Amino acid sequence: MIIVMKPDSQEKDVAEISKTLSSLGLGVHISKGTERTIIGVIGDKRVLSDVPLELMPGVEKLVPIMESYKLASRTFKPEPSIVDVNGVKIGGKELVIMAGPCAVENYQQIMDAAFAVKKAGAQFLRGGAFKPRTSPYSFQGLEEEGLKLLKEAKDATGLQVITEVTSEKAVEIAYKYVDMFQIGARNAQNFHLLREIGRSGKPVLYKRGSATTIEEWLNAAEYIMSEGNYNVVLCERGIRTFETATRNTLDISAVPVVKSTSHLPIIVDPSHAAGKTQFVLPLSKAAIAAGADGLIIEVHPNPRCALSDASQQLTPESFDELCADISKIADIVGREFKHE
């Protein structure tokens, strides 16, 4: 970290800061420029997290030099991580596709969805049991009943299952039914929930919040990891911008940016980014071409009868075409994906 002093700061201001830093075991390097004095701070800046340096006399501003997250950074762990969910490896050579309906609705629906996505090559079945809906008057999910149906679909197909958890209680209930938790964008900075998931030890797909910078996202991942749970897979699903032609703006650059600063795997959710089925295929291809480790896609056996997010769920036929295309692009970018 760099401390930039005000033009009118005094020698004694610099001396007092140096003293404070030294007392915390940090090194100090002072540069006197033509217009400003600058103090370089050397050592682990986390000891400074609750020290209001910016309020000390003569200080103009603080300039961070390194990322503030640690466990998620490439500096900490240079080689890419692979998250292993019962043998399915996320972040390795093989691409991983998670697919299924927005919400688990009934036995027939989830079974049909499960067999359809399995046939096309998906390794994971997704399905919501606890639904965070914009309006309280909309369908809110089957809760534990839905989790039981997911488990049945898992047993019948051998797919791994993933579901969103929205509260401590949901984590507790879902623990025994699913293979992986999902944290949705609306809870991206619900630190209480992140810690709970950290303590659970179960692999987690952690979606970016719609107003969260990549740096804040990796910092928040630290809440999960600092509890000892390193099985974190990131998911880019679009950010909020002024553009309204799509539900969110897919930040495709987040894929190479995350790859350059973190060792965690990253997949893309084109369904929530686009909000419209017609854009899901091009965005899926773009995500894999950009280097994503996989996709999570909404697929419904009969979208016209879906109880939520109807306009962004693919039919099994469209999803099958998507998997075929992804399989071809995988080769070009040095990855693998088996489509039938």
Site for a second copy, residues 228 to 247, rule: CB under 8 A:
239-246
**Binder of a second copy out of 12, 199, 328, 338 (CB under 8 A):** 328
Based on the shown chain and the rule CB under 8 A, indicate whether residue 175 belongs to the binding site for a second copy: no
Least distance (Å) from a second copy to the CB of residue 279? 5
Q: Give the C-alpha separation, 281 to 323, whole Å.
A: 9
Closer CB to a second copy, residue 23 or residue 134? 134
Based on the shown chain and the rule CB under 8 A, indicate whether residue 189 belongs to the binding site for a second copy: yes
C-alpha triplet 210, 211, 215: angle, nearest 5°: 110
Based on the shown chain and the rule CB under 8 A, indicate whether residue 27 belongs to the binding site for a second copy: yes
Based on the shown chain and the rule CB under 8 A, indicate whether residue 29 belongs to the binding site for a second copy: yes
Based on the shown chain and the rule CB under 8 A, indicate whether residue 79 belongs to the binding site for a second copy: no
**Binder of a second copy out of 118, 303, 319, 320 (CB under 8 A):** 303
Beta bridge partners of 84: 89
What residues numbered 241-300 form the site for a second copy, per CB under 8 A? 241-246, 249-257, 260, 273-274, 278-279, 282-283, 285-291
Q: Give the C-alpha separation, 211 to 220, whole Å.
A: 13
Q: Give the C-alpha separation, 167 to 164, whole Å.
A: 10
Based on the shown chain and the rule CB under 8 A, indicate whether residue 95 belongs to the binding site for a second copy: no
**Binder of a second copy out of 75, 86, 106, 108 (CB under 8 A):** 75
Q: Look at the alpha carbons of 165, 170, 171, 174 in this order and tell me if their dihedral is positive or negative.
A: negative
Based on the shown chain and the rule CB under 8 A, indicate whether residue 111 belongs to the binding site for a second copy: no
Closer CB to a second copy, residue 159 or residue 235? 235
For residue 205, the surrounding DSSP H or E stretch is strand 204-207
Least distance (Å) from a second copy to the CB of residue 236? 11
Based on the shown chain and the rule CB under 8 A, indicate whether residue 23 belongs to the binding site for a second copy: no
Secondary structure of 253-302 as H, E, C letters: CHHHHHHHHECCCEEECHHHHHCCHHHHHHHHHHHHHCCCCEEEEEECCC
Closer CB to a second copy, residue 18 or residue 249? 249
Closer CB to a second copy, residue 86 or residue 241? 241
Closer CB to a second copy, residue 92 or residue 167? 167
Q: Look at the alpha carbons of 254, 258, 259, 260 in this order and tell me if their dihedral is positive or negative.
A: positive
Q: Give the C-alpha separation, 143 to 186, whole Å.
A: 18
Based on the shown chain and the rule CB under 8 A, indicate whether residue 63 belongs to the binding site for a second copy: yes
Return the axis-axis angle of helices 214-225 and 191-200, rounded to nearest 10°: 40
Q: What backbone torsions phi and psi does residue 143 show, to the nearest 5 degrees? A: 55, -135
Least distance (Å) from a second copy to the CB of residue 119? 22
What residues numbered 113-172 form the site for a second copy, per CB under 8 A? 130, 132-139, 166-170
